[in-house]
Amino acid sequence: MSVDSAHASVVVCNPQGLHLRPAYLLAGAAERFQSRVELIKDGERVDAKSILSIVGLNATEGTSLQIDARGPDAEAAVGTLVELFRSGFPEATGDSAPSASAR
């Protein structure tokens, strides 16, 4: 039995880097796939399905990362994450935090 794999290189283009909002979007996108998906920065590999692991990379604007996926839907997983990086995480660029009702 062979394991499918896919890889890509991306650059963080967000001025504030991979802070909580883009990490949330990345982890949510990766979670939709069966494949094991990892982000790699300077040899450090982290689970792309973990928001805290992504934030822990401390990836600032201009940081080069590799995306590595292994599993039955590896190509689709990598393609989805690459598109998030290319788009600049559009849902994560707002300056306002989600509002909460005070009661």
pLDDT in tens, 12-58: 999 999 999 999 999 999 999 999 999 999 999 999 999 999 999 99
> In the predicted model, is pLDDT for residue 91 greater than 80?
no
> In the predicted model, is pLDDT for residue 96 greater than 90?
no
pLDDT in tens, 47-61: 999 999 999 999 999
Active site residue 19: yes
Within 10 Å of residue 74's Cβ, how many Cβ atoms? 22
**Per-residue b or e along 27-59, where b marks 16 or more CB atoms closer than 10 Å to that residue's CB:** bebbeebebbbbbbbeeeebebbbbebbbebeb
Q: Which of 19, 40, 56, 76 is catalytic?
A: 19
How far is Cα 93 from Cα 7, in angstroms, rounded to an integer? 26
pLDDT at 62: 97
H/E stretch holding 83: helix 74-87
pLDDT at 21: 95
Q: All domains of the chain, ordered by start, with CATH? A: 5-88 (3.30.1340.10)
Average pLDDT score, the chain? 89
